[in-house]
């Protein structure tokens, strides 16, 4: 049961920032954590869920279980729709649409971001992004379904199209997903089909920049490009997608040349945008936003003229900090520490300082790139470091053990058992028996 006295703190979002803040806030502070999902998700491993290595249960944990021992914290399953900064109230909607409000003395915004389609939200129907469990399962259906569609196709051109995958965005998510699709085709599925050779699968990686993983620096970027090319990923750098539909993508290069590629599957891993909540908060508080809609905050993570409202994680725009798990964790801990001092009537003027512990990206089995503590390296050593980093970041011993077992089967025996889907899930404009299939609706933003 939640505490009945003390300052009221509302946390919007149960990701790394929200969870770390909630766990750090102790009684007599009363904490209400609101999220539209009942679980905490380890987003960096979504691509492994999408490609059959790990089940969704290995990268997600129920928020109620994670907060069970924190008796001053109450979890509410709801979608926040806005705030009243003057009355200090949060408006939300429960799963069946019932409106509800929560009063607060301090508000921590940790709602994360959603996929950005750069003004073409219609692409979401056939080019899913990867920000949630639903997205990963949808991509799993699309990827494995594409091989099934190719196997049953009688027209060679249709078969080639189904075996062509287009990924838009060469950041960590795009690079990791591209590498896994090629590894899936050349290892796991190589002997399972009778009419196609899965190794014929083409993976096209498009990005408007000059190299993959550009944020990792030129050395690691070049290393990633080399490893991806060896794996068979076709790099199309300096290419911007100008059109996309169910069967093709059209891209324009730096010279203005336009090329259309026939593809069976399009996956969108480029760009992020703040959820509608950020705009609602900006209107309610007068706060400014950046081009992606994220909220500009001060060095203490608070909004101008509203010291009781703090912004954390990906929703925050401060000092060009990257949208990675470590930033979310550290801002969540800082926000909790600041609230504790303010709730006791103490001043807290220490600004937030980010401690960069490094970055890592998985390429394929035995290959990863790591930037940490001033060192840049890759290959087999980078792969082992990547493994230990992600084991440490996973929430709970059960998830860590489950991930280790899943990795052992996938890496040592080329087995990926987490790839269940049905005929209704196949990524076709028309079903395999000719019945029309409606495209998936655009993904909703969430906390």
Sign of CA dihedral 110, 116, 120, 122: negative
Torsion angles phi and psi, residue 6, rounded to 5: 100, 175
| Strand partners for 204 | 166, 234
Per DSSP, the residues of 317-365 read: ESTT---SHHHHHHHHHHHHHHHHHHHTT----PPP------EEEEEET
| 3-state secondary structure (DSSP) of residue 443 | coil
Query: SS3 of 28, please?
Result: coil
Q: By CB neighbour count within 10 A (0-12 exposed, 13-18 middle, 19+ buried), where does 192 fall?
A: exposed
User: Do residues 121 and 287 make contact, with C-beta atoms less than 8 angstroms apart?
Assistant: no
Residue 207: which region, alpha, beta or left (left: phi > 0; alpha: psi -120 to 50)?
A: beta
Phi, psi at 138, each rounded to 5°: -65, -45
Answer whether 209's CB lies under 8 Å from 171's CB.
no
Q: Where are the beta strands (DSSP E) in 66-163?
A: 73-77, 79-84, 89-93, 99-103, 106-109, 114-115
Query: How many other CB atoms sit within 10 Å of the CB of residue 310?
Result: 30
Distance, in Å, from the CA atom of 136 to the CA atom of 22, rounded to the nearest integer, reads: 26
Residue 243 annotated to the active site: no
- Closest by Cα among 246, 56, 40, 39 to 137: 56
From the candidates 176, 183, 326, 418, give the one annotated as an active-site residue.
176
Residues noted as catalytic: 176
């Amino acid at each position: 049961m939640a505490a009945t006295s003390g300052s009221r703190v509302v946390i919007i979002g149960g990701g790394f920032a929200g969870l770390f803040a909630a766990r750090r806030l102790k009684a007599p502070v009363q904490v209400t954590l609101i999220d539209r999902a009942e679980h905490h998700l380890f987003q960096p491993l979504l691509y492994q869920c999408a490609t059959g290595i790990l089940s969704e249960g290995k990268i997600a944990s129920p928020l109620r279980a994670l907060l069970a021992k924190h008796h001053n914290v109450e979890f509410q399953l709801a979608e926040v729709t806005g705030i009243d900064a003057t009355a200090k109230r949060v408006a939300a909607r429960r799963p069946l649409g019932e409106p509800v409000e929560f009063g607060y003395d301090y508000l921590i915004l940790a709602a994360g971001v959603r996929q950005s389609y750069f003004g073409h939200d219609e692409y979401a129907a056939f080019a899913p992004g990867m920000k949630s469990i639903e997205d990963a399962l949808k991509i799993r259906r699309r990827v494995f379904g594409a091989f099934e569609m190719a196997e049953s196709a009688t027209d060679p051109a249709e078969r080639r199209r189904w075996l062509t995958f287009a990924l838009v965005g060469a950041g960590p998510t795009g690079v990791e997903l591209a590498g896994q699709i090629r590894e899936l085709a050349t290892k796991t599925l190589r002997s399972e089909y009778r009419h196609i050779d899965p190794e014929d699968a083409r993976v096209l990686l498009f990005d408007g920049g000059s190299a993959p993983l550009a944020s990792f620096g030129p050395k690691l970027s070049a290393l990633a490009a080399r490893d991806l090319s060896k794996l068979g990923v076709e790099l199309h750098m300096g290419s911007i997608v100008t059109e996309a539909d169910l069967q093709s993508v059209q891209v324009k290069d730096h010279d203005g040349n336009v090329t259309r590629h026939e593809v069976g599957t399009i996956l969108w891993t480029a760009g992020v945008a703040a959820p509608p909540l950020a705009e609602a908060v900006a209107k309610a508080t007068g706060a400014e936003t950046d081009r992606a809609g994220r909220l500009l905050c001060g060095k203490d993570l608070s909004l101008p003229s509203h010291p009781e409202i703090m912004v954390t994680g990906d929703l925050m725009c401060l000092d060009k900090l990257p949208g990675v798990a470590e930033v979310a964790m550290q801002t969540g801990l800082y926000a909790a520490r600041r609230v504790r001092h303010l709730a006791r009537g103490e001043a807290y003027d220490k600004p937030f300082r980010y401690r960069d512990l490094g970055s890592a990206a998985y390429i394929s089995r035995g290959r990863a790139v790591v930037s940490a503590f001033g060192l840049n390296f890759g290959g087999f050593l980078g792969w082992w470091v990547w493994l230990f980093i992600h084991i440490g970041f996973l929430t709970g011993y059960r998830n860590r053990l489950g991930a280790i077992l899943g990795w052992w089967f996938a890496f040592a025996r080329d087995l990926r058992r987490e790839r269940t889907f049905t005929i209704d899930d196949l990524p076709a404009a028309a079903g395999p028996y000719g019945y029309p299939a409606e495209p998936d609706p655009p993904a909703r933003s969430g906390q």
